[in-house]
Amino acid sequence: MPETINIAGRKVHLGEIEEVHLKIARLPTYTNINLPVHIYRAREDGPVLLLTGGLHGDELNGIEIIRRMINSGLILPQRGSVIAMPLVNAYGFLQNVRGVPDGKDINRSFPGNKSGSLAKLIAHTLMHQIIPQIDYGIDFHTGGASRANYPQVRCTFSVPENKILAKAFGAPMILNSPLIENSFRKAAHKKGKHILVYEGGESLRFSEHAIQEGIDGTLRLMKHLNMIDEAPEQNEPSEIYLKSDWLRAKYAGLFVSIAELGQDIKRKEKLGHIAEPFGHEEFEIFSTRSARIIGLNYSPVVHKGDALMHIAYDLEK
Ligand SMILES: [Zn+2]
């Protein structure tokens, strides 16, 4: 851990708690939007852990996970430091959208560019102001659109330490997920920093289950990193999946799932149906393999090819 953490010219020493506001960009209304960064430093030495929420502005569970940890004081480490950014994309949050107002996705804009679009500017700020200060990170997400994710940690198993960290977090599911081009996780990885992606629930909705698993997992990771002494036990053992697929709609229509998020399914099991809205036809949906449902589309209206269920398989024993 560095002697001082230096963010936007503010020096934060051991034993100090600070809130720094990063100046990013103005809205077209000339309203300034600053990005609040909370820094919690214990007196004792230890790693620096970054918590980021709301990189996608409509994904609220992560914002609530970090907010509750701040509010309850659980965020305070006994050793080391926590840098918390509950809401990275305030711009998208204001409009209930994933990206920034020009439609670009921050999580596909890394490592960013100082003179680029707003998404690239935010990415650039994170890479220059925050990433050099940290050792580890958890980036909190939910499913996109109306798709809900069962609480899961995603990381690439090609980096052995990632898997150890994911196991320490102890989410119900751990998924091998290759690094996505221009994502925050990949850009941080190139700088030698380990970032886990936590996914739980769906956009624009709170999931108590996903929020609680997120808080508990963060505390378990902090304990693993020797930042705190006590952390909650796992509610369910982690299952590690090597592969996952999307089950997609073969027809457009009204989708009803009889299978639930988190459920184990067998090959050829009936999972639900897609109905034609005028009452003539109903097409049944069957499982293509034995798997577990780790993501589920809650939108009743689906188009041909839409993602219905995310299923994981190839369980690591
Ligand atoms: Zn997301």
The pTM for the full model equals 0.96
User: In sequence order, which residues have a C-beta less than 8 Å from that of residue 28 and are 6 or more positions away?
Assistant: 101
Task: Please provide the average confidence, as pLDDT, over all residues in the chain.
Answer: 95
CA pair distance 52, 111, nearest whole angstrom: 16
User: In sequence order, which residues have a C-beta less than 8 Å from that of residue 262 and are 6 or more positions away?
Assistant: 150, 172, 292, 293, 294
Higher pLDDT, 221 or 24: 221
Q: What is the pLDDT of residue 48?
A: 98
Q: Average pLDDT for residues 162-185, to the nearest whole number?
A: 96
Please give the distance, rounded to the nearest whole angstrom, from the Cα atom of residue 201 to the centre of ligand 1: 11
Cβ neighbours of 278 (radius 10 Å) = 7
- At residue 138 the predicted structure's pLDDT band, cuts being 50, 70 and 90, is very high
Q: What is the pLDDT of residue 226?
A: 98
Please give the distance, rounded to the nearest whole angstrom, from the Cα atom of residue 68 to the centre of ligand 1: 19
Please give the distance, rounded to the nearest whole angstrom, from the Cα atom of residue 3 to the centre of ligand 1: 33
Please give the distance, rounded to the nearest whole angstrom, from the Cα atom of residue 86 to the centre of ligand 1: 13
Q: Average pLDDT for residues 38-59, to the nearest whole number?
A: 97
Q: What is the pLDDT of residue 302?
A: 97
- At residue 32 the predicted structure's pLDDT band, cuts being 50, 70 and 90, is confident
Q: What is the pLDDT of residue 272?
A: 97
Please give the distance, rounded to the nearest whole angstrom, from the Cα atom of residue 144 to the centre of ligand 1: 6
Please give the distance, rounded to the nearest whole angstrom, from the Cα atom of residue 242 to the centre of ligand 1: 21
The answer on pLDDT for 317 being more than 90 is no
The answer on pLDDT for 6 being more than 80 is yes
Please give the distance, rounded to the nearest whole angstrom, from the Cα atom of residue 229 to the centre of ligand 1: 30
pLDDT tens, position by position, 194-245: 999 999 999 999 999 999 999 999 999 999 999 999 999 998 999 999 999 9
Complete domains list, the chain, with CATH: 4-224 (3.40.630.10), 243-315 (2.40.50.100)
Please give the distance, rounded to the nearest whole angstrom, from the Cα atom of residue 313 to the centre of ligand 1: 22
Give me the percent of the chain exceeding a pLDDT of 90.
Answer: 93
The answer on pLDDT for 121 being more than 70 is yes
Q: What is the pLDDT of residue 31?
A: 84
Please give the distance, rounded to the nearest whole angstrom, from the Cα atom of residue 293 to the centre of ligand 1: 19
The answer to whether 244 and 310 are in contact (CB under 8 A) is yes
pLDDT tens, position by position, 282-312: 999 999 999 999 999 999 999 999 999 999 9
